[in-house]
Structure 1
């Protein structure tokens, strides 16, 4: 817009200048009273054709001015196009453009930096996924070997005592359950990469949903001496995809079961604040360093990176929870202070419904 504004300004200045010179020339020619001479005849001719001369001069100036202002952005466009090609080959070197294109240079460099960050994040996520698959493939061998070994003993030693048989059966079942967990992690990785989450909304009571999900986790919590408390309003109606939102709650409570301190309480609270539904899931646990807290919703990121433990899964639970919450138009964040971990979900009120 600035270029075309300058173009119109220069063109108008040129026309005004030509008209002013023409008017001045016309006055000079009209005021001459010399005797007939070649100069007098020439001035009379100029006076007679002064309009034609003005038109030709204006047109000539218009052509020159237009060529300058049209060729300039074309040249700048070529420069920008050459610089834009660098975005397809991101490098650490900044994109340099003339001072007149400083704003575009800033935008291109910002886009380049974002592309570099996205590329690094994609490589890191891909590397984490590949490492995870390698670890899972290796980990599958151990429980499978144990299951086969103990079942073989049960088959080949029919005379063993009931106590030993029960112990072997219990170990084989435990290893089979571990094998199932690992296979489920493989399925989570596949589903997350191949599926596109879509919402099927309906009106639900979040209070009843949270009570049901919490009751399903009580046996899991009891194994670690955990308890669960709920502070919810009598009714909390909301239009959502109940299956997917229940998966968010399931992931958060499963995460709490992994990382809560023994004999502590997992607290679930809900309220309406500033027209939004705010849900909090809080548990006692070791403080999470800020650098890990910043990455806690990344794909394939695990707080406990050791594959020797059974805490956590493929590192997709919180990433999936974040995607589902954002599909509902909400937000989710994690805080960790004073040996307490809190996940806060805010859902927009425009999808809430009265009972």
Structure 2
């Protein structure tokens, strides 16, 4: 049978009681009993008197210990009561805060503020996840509805000629590709939220990797009518699949928002991506998150918070796993310059 541990107040009370009773016990054993023995008066009445006195001392010490422990631990006990009084529901817990009183000891004030800082993070994550779920339902529903409508057109409209059917199917393919891309980003974001990202490093030619990413983006580039110019060369010790995933997300964002031209410069351990788009609507640190809780406005169009920062988040986490980082060198109405430091350059 497992014994339930004593409360902190009970433990402090026992320590105070012991320290209070110890001098009296020492005095009885070391002074009174030897004195009575030398005087020849160590009879039954003396033992009863000494015993009752010791019991009284122990009881009084226990009462004093309990009262003093309550006074000493009062701020901590109040904090514990406030924590136990917090709501259990996640939504209500995220909005709750512990009161901070300047009358409390500095350690208790620091404890309450640290707990409130933790609750602030809970509220932020709850807000991000709520926005993420709302945006996710919208982002998944939009291509599915579009694909469903296009399929109905192909099925029901007998007047469509071959070229028109090919055009409709091309649009359908585009909607399905967008859906697959979103799902892949969700999978990658979920995997990269972990602290450790396993890597299979090898020597990678960065210019060849960028060229492969540009080839994958050729359909989107042709649709957007922009130009991708790649220059320079360099290598890095990296996981080629993970690094390609990071560069794909960076370049696909650039292709989506660039006006006419994207310049990619390759150096040892560094890829510099410059576009002539409208610039970042928020600081990179706020956008490169798995859950963006605010609306984002890019090129005059408002995007709901939620999945908008997945691409930048994936790129940032992959680079950080390699010992590198993602840096915004410049951004504004004339474009954005992002620096992808890979780490492990050779």
- Give the TM-score category using the shorter length: 0.5 to 0.7
- 1:227 alignment partner, SS class: strand
Matched, 1:123 2:124: no
Unpaired segments ≥5 residues, structure 2: 1-11, 28-38, 40-53
- Contact map agreement 2:233 2:267 (CA 8 A) in 1: yes
Q: C-alpha displacement at 1:254, in angstroms?
A: 0.5
Q: Deviations over 1:306-354 (max 9, x none)?
A: 9x999xx9532222222333333433233543523122233454xx6x6
Mapping of 1:1-355 within 5 angstroms? 70-85=69-84, 90=93, 91=95, 94-97=98-101, 99-150=103-154, 152-153=156-157, 165-166=162-163, 168-185=164-181, 187-188=183-184, 191=187, 195=191, 198-217=197-216, 219=218, 220-221=220-221, 224-233=225-234, 235-238=235-238, 240=239, 242-262=240-260, 264-271=261-268, 277-290=269-282, 293-299=284-290, 301=292, 303=296, 314-315=307-308, 316-338=310-332, 339-349=334-344
In 2, Cα distance between equivalents of 1:205 and 1:282: 22
In 1, Cα distance between equivalents of 2:140 and 2:112: 41
In 1, Cα distance between equivalents of 2:207 and 2:275: 21
Q: C-alpha displacement at 1:141, in angstroms?
A: 2.4
Q: C-alpha displacement at 1:218, in angstroms?
A: 6.7
Q: C-alpha displacement at 1:256, in angstroms?
A: 0.8
In 1, Cα distance between equivalents of 2:134 and 2:275: 31
> Aligned residue pairs: how many?
312
In 2, Cα distance between equivalents of 1:186 and 1:215: 19
- Contact map agreement 1:87 1:115 (CA 8 A) in 2: no
- 1:109 alignment partner, SS class: helix
Unpaired segments ≥5 residues, structure 1: 20-43, 45-55, 272-276
The CA RMSD over aligned residues, in Å, is 5.2
Specify whether residues 221 and 74 from structure 1 end up closer, same or farther in structure 2 by C-alpha distance, changes over 3 A only: same
Specify whether residues 247 and 192 from structure 1 end up closer, same or farther in structure 2 by C-alpha distance, changes over 3 A only: closer
- 1:295 alignment partner, SS class: helix
